[in-house]
Amino acid sequence: MTLSESPRELTRTDRLLGALGGLVAGYVSLAVAEVVAAWVRPEAGPVTAVGAAVIDLTPAAVKEWAIRSFGTSDKAVLLTGILTILALLAAAIGLLALRNRPAGVAGVLLLGLVGAVAAAGRPDSDSVADMLPSLIGAVAGAALLYVLTGRLLARRPTAAPERAARASRRSFLLTAAATVVAATGAAALARALGGARHENAVASRTALRLPRPASAAPAVPRGAQLDVPGIGPFITPNEDFYRIDTALVVPKVDAGSWRLRIHGLGVDGERTLTLQDLLRRTVIERDITLACVSNEIGGPLVGNARWLGVRLADLLREAGVRPPSEGGPADQIVARSVDGMTIGTPVEDVMDGRDALLAFGMNGEPLPFDHGFPVRMLVPGLYGYVSACKWIVDIELTTFDAYDAYWVRGGWAPEAPVKTQSRIDTPRSLARLDEGTVMIAGVAWAQHRGIERVQVRIDDGPWQDARLAAEDSRDTWRQWVYPWRATPGRHDLAVRATDGAGVTQTERRTDPMPDGASGWHTIAVTVEAVE
Ligand SMILES: Nc1nc2c(c(=O)[nH]1)N[C@H]1C(S)=C(S)[C@@H](COP(=O)(O)O)O[C@H]1N2
Ligand SMILES: [Mo]
């Protein structure tokens, strides 16, 4: 029995099915690509690769807007957007293929090429094999589209027209359904296999026994945590700690095969360390508050944890590194992560005596994968994008003149000490309150300088001192509370902090770009009279 293609009038149903054929071809492309990516590298899958490329190509200002608008779900929004655009393109290609099959096939291949180029262009991509998932997926999808449109347009020469059309649609739908089922099954299997590959990393984290610190963090002072409803915990639990990074697939690094290379200007002999090497060193434990430069005034991108690690300055000194103030030739440390992120930090800050860490523990457990397992950097007093490289694998000593790290290329400042900030956590903005005493409370931070004073202003009244909670260390945030006798009406509440250097937050509001937001956190509340 032969099927012959004969052009005929396309009905609405044909066009609907044509678009459906495009969608099915697109879906099967992605599923096949996922199967191949499970073997090559999960990050080389087309959607992940295109997503990562979009993140890299997005102007810093837009990225900042995305973080601001979508917070930590910015990645989900991005992936949904990519999949939506892809679905529209696939449907259009399906329609195109009804008129011109080679053009439809070319369309699918072209999309595959976009995915392949995106995958190969990633900074952490070191082989053309990363192009394979997209390319093989596209070939499979293109072939399927060719067959599906063939089914739809085919007509048995002898049959009556309506019956012929019905037969060809049935055959189209059967083929489409069968391939969707097969591709879904294969992708699920591949995903399970990929998961198995991550098991080593997961097992290495479960097996990791954290050493006792030679220098433990002092117990958090009893008075550091205020007993005011609506104020967060002084130590942020790991699962509530904000997460900001460019990784669409969280790197799962096996602690056993992890290595850290230290090299570059002024290093007297490149060295490579294992996690065991770090665990055998003098381990210290410190409470350090980490903040993101993208955090808006009043925003949530700040957290405080108890970190366990080794002093980075000691490691550097042993490697022959001297800070610029001692005549060392390098003024920038470029930390590189396993996924190609680069983060530049002043050598001087790391070596000036503060507790800059290579950390492997967070709040009593090994670093969570989201927060950089097995090892990350932390430098008290600097925003995360210039200090806190997660999944770190390489430390290069260089100069600020010679190298722009990732975020700096996007327009962020090369050096960025945290700005003094304060935040009202309770009452909430636009809250309706009963008249009487209202506890206005929140946190303030100015890592490495400490917080000396926090003041609250009601409407246009005078600035009044809030009560400061006990200080844990000057590298941590500090809670504060101000009991307010609230009177009926609408009120504006503002807060400002003064840091340990005696500098008070200025009123002038600036955007997070390029070196962190400034300005007072101000909220409006309505107080109702109580009968
Ligand atoms: N590898 C890697 N490290 C990174 C980033 C990243 O994108 N990739 N983002 C940095 C930024 S901008 C911040 S604010 C902190 C956030 O750390 P957290 O996710 O553990 O809170 O990580 C820093 N380290
Ligand atoms: Mo950040």
Residue 296 belongs to domain with CATH number? 3.90.420.10
Burial class (CB in 10 A: 0-12, 13-18, 19+), 382: buried
Q: Are residues 37 and 157 in the same domain?
A: yes
In a domain, residue 488? The reply is yes
| Residue 2 pLDDT exceeds 50 | no
Q: Is 369 in the pocket of ligand 1 (CB under 6 A)?
A: no
Residue nearest to atom 2 of ligand 1 (CA): 390
Q: How far is the centre of ligand 1, averaged over its atoms, from the C-alpha of 49 (Å)? A: 19
Residue nearest to atom 16 of ligand 1 (CA): 244
Atom of ligand 1 nearest to the CA of 392: 1
Atom of ligand 1 nearest to the CA of 377: 24
pTM equals 0.83
pLDDT at 156: 57
pLDDT at 327: 98
Q: How far is the centre of ligand 1, averaged over its atoms, from the C-alpha of 389 (Å)? A: 6
Q: Is 389 in the pocket of ligand 1 (CB under 6 A)?
A: yes
| Residue 4 pLDDT exceeds 50 | no
Q: Are residues 46 and 139 in the same domain?
A: yes
Q: Are residues 255 and 362 in the same domain?
A: yes
Q: Are residues 34 and 161 in the same domain?
A: yes
In a domain, residue 94? The reply is yes
Lowest mean pLDDT among 4-18, 195-209, 210-224, 379-393: 4-18
Q: Are residues 425 and 449 in the same domain?
A: yes
Amino acid at 340: G
Would you place residue 48 in the very low, low, confident or very high pLDDT band (cuts 50, 70, 90)? confident
Q: What are 196-237's pLDDT values in tens digits?
A: 778 889 999 999 999 999 999 999 999 999 999 999 999 999
Q: How far is the centre of ligand 2, averaged over its atoms, from the C-alpha of 78 (Å)? A: 18
Tell me the sheet residues that pair with 190.
Answer: none
Q: Is 390 in the pocket of ligand 1 (CB under 6 A)?
A: yes
Q: Is 241 in the pocket of ligand 1 (CB under 6 A)?
A: yes
Q: Are residues 434 and 486 in the same domain?
A: yes
Structure tokens belonging to residue 505: 């937050």
Residue nearest to atom 20 of ligand 1 (CA): 371
Q: Are residues 198 and 53 in the same domain?
A: yes
Q: Is 521 in the pocket of ligand 1 (CB under 6 A)?
A: no
Q: Which domain holds residue 367?
A: 238-409
Residue at which a domain ends, from 383, 409, 435: 409
Which residues, chain by chain, have CB under 5 Å from ion ligand 2?
Answer: 244, 292, 384-385
**Longest C-alpha distance within the chain, in Å?**
93
Q: Which of 385, 393, 412, 513 to mutate to test the pocket of ligand 1 (most atoms within 8 A of CB)?
A: 385
pLDDT at 1: 36
pLDDT at 39: 82
Residue at which a domain ends, from 409, 443, 460: 409
Q: Taking the CA atoms of the chain, what radius of gyration do you get in angstroms?
A: 29
Q: Tell me if the bond preceding 233 is cis, omega within 30° of 0.
A: no
> Would you call 78 helix, strand, or coil by DSSP?
helix
* Rounded average pLDDT over 386-396: 98
pLDDT at 89: 96
Q: For Cα atoms 455, 383, 303, give the angle at the middle one, nearest 5 degrees.
A: 65
Closest ligand to 288 CA?
1
Average pLDDT score, the chain: 93
Closest ligand to 294 CA?
2
Q: Are residues 242 and 332 in the same domain?
A: yes
| Residue 176 pLDDT exceeds 50 | yes
Q: Do 113 and 134 contact (CB within 8 A), yes or no?
A: yes
3-state secondary structure 345-411: EEHHHHCCCCCCEEEEEECCEECCHHHCCCCEEECCCECHHHCCCCCEEEEEEECCCCCCCHHHHCC
* Rounded average pLDDT over 26-49: 89
| Residue 155 pLDDT exceeds 70 | no
Residue at which a domain ends, from 379, 409, 439: 409
pLDDT at 195: 73
Q: Are residues 69 and 191 in the same domain?
A: yes
Would you place residue 74 in the very low, low, confident or very high pLDDT band (cuts 50, 70, 90)? confident
Q: Is 306 in the pocket of ligand 1 (CB under 6 A)?
A: no
Q: Are residues 53 and 11 in the same domain?
A: yes
In a domain, residue 415? The reply is no
In a domain, residue 141? The reply is yes
In a domain, residue 266? The reply is yes
> Would you call 308 helix, strand, or coil by DSSP?
strand
In a domain, residue 222? The reply is no
Q: Are residues 279 and 133 in the same domain?
A: no
Report the number of distinct structural domains present in the chain: 3
Instruction: Dihedral sign for Cα 179, 185, 187, 189, please.
Output: negative
| Residue 272 pLDDT exceeds 50 | yes
Residue 469 belongs to domain with CATH number? 2.60.40.650
Q: Are residues 191 and 284 in the same domain?
A: no
In a domain, residue 416? The reply is no
Q: Is 28 in the pocket of ligand 1 (CB under 6 A)?
A: no
* Rounded average pLDDT over 429-449: 98
| Residue 240 pLDDT exceeds 50 | yes
| Residue 44 pLDDT exceeds 90 | no
Q: Is 246 in the pocket of ligand 1 (CB under 6 A)?
A: yes
In a domain, residue 400? The reply is yes
**Which is more confident, 441 or 159?**
441
Q: Which of 369, 390, 515 to mutate to test the pocket of ligand 1 (most atoms within 8 A of CB)?
A: 390
